[in-house]
Structure 1
Amino acid sequence: MHYLIQLLLRFLLVVLLIVGTVSNAPSANAQPQDADCALHTIGYYAGLSPSEVADRTGVMEGPAHDEDTITGMLTRLHLGNGVHPHFRSRQEVYNYMLGQNGNAAYVLGWVPQNGVGHVINARRYNSNLTFMDCQNLNNNQPPDDPSYTYVLWFVRHE
């Protein structure tokens, strides 16, 4: 009986190690405000931690990443097509996403005139839009501010 209990405990330990190793969304385990939003956002779609995104794309962790750097990271990880239109309002972004054919995943960013912006995950499923901020761990919509420039990177059809 004692042997069976030891065998069962070893089996459970192996299962827990495997499950922890192949997690598909490592960024979901991140603490709010660690690293940066671009690495978390892209990591979610790539199934990588923010550190792995930095390592695989040659981008430094920590500083805010600009539009070209985000495009480059997505390209190097074979996510999206490099297209990233700009919009003057949150509603224009929503209209664009809803006007596309099929369900899709996006990286959505916004930049104030003077300051550092933010990026989150965005999805279109049928006629619904959903948002996930993998850095701050919430599902808030992007801010609606007429002084912001909004940027939308296509990631993939779903």
Structure 2
Amino acid sequence: MLKKPLKSLKVGRDKFFDILRANNLLIIPKRSYHITTNSHHRFRKHKNLILDYQINKPNQVWVADITYIGSRSNPTYLSLIADAYSKKIVVHHVADKLNTQSSLLALKNALKNKKVNLGLLIHHSDRALQYCSNESKITGEEQY
């Protein structure tokens, strides 16, 4: 419908979309997400310790998360732990399944770093099932 009037105004496809964008007339497509977080579970959810916490040096707070990589039909799950101050990845672990063991393995590998003061370190996550399950309780000599 607009092809002839736009051509007479010397407005091509790209300029036309620039005009639509400038006037907020473009429809932004919704992204479909692969949900990896289930925060509505029966396990204990720990208090958010970093809500009003001032992070001013590395290795005070580690932030953990899980995302999927690959295709939706055959996803692989990437568990990441990043330092909240420096934004550097402390450790990563790739697994075929979305489970607690993958998150624990990533944490145990991250804790092998002897330069970290474990008494002052906070491990923060989105409180998904993998981080709150009974399997994720660390006791005795493994307590961090």
TM-score by length of 2: 0.26
Determine which structure has more spread, i.e. the larger CA radius of gyration.
2
TM-score by length of 1: 0.25
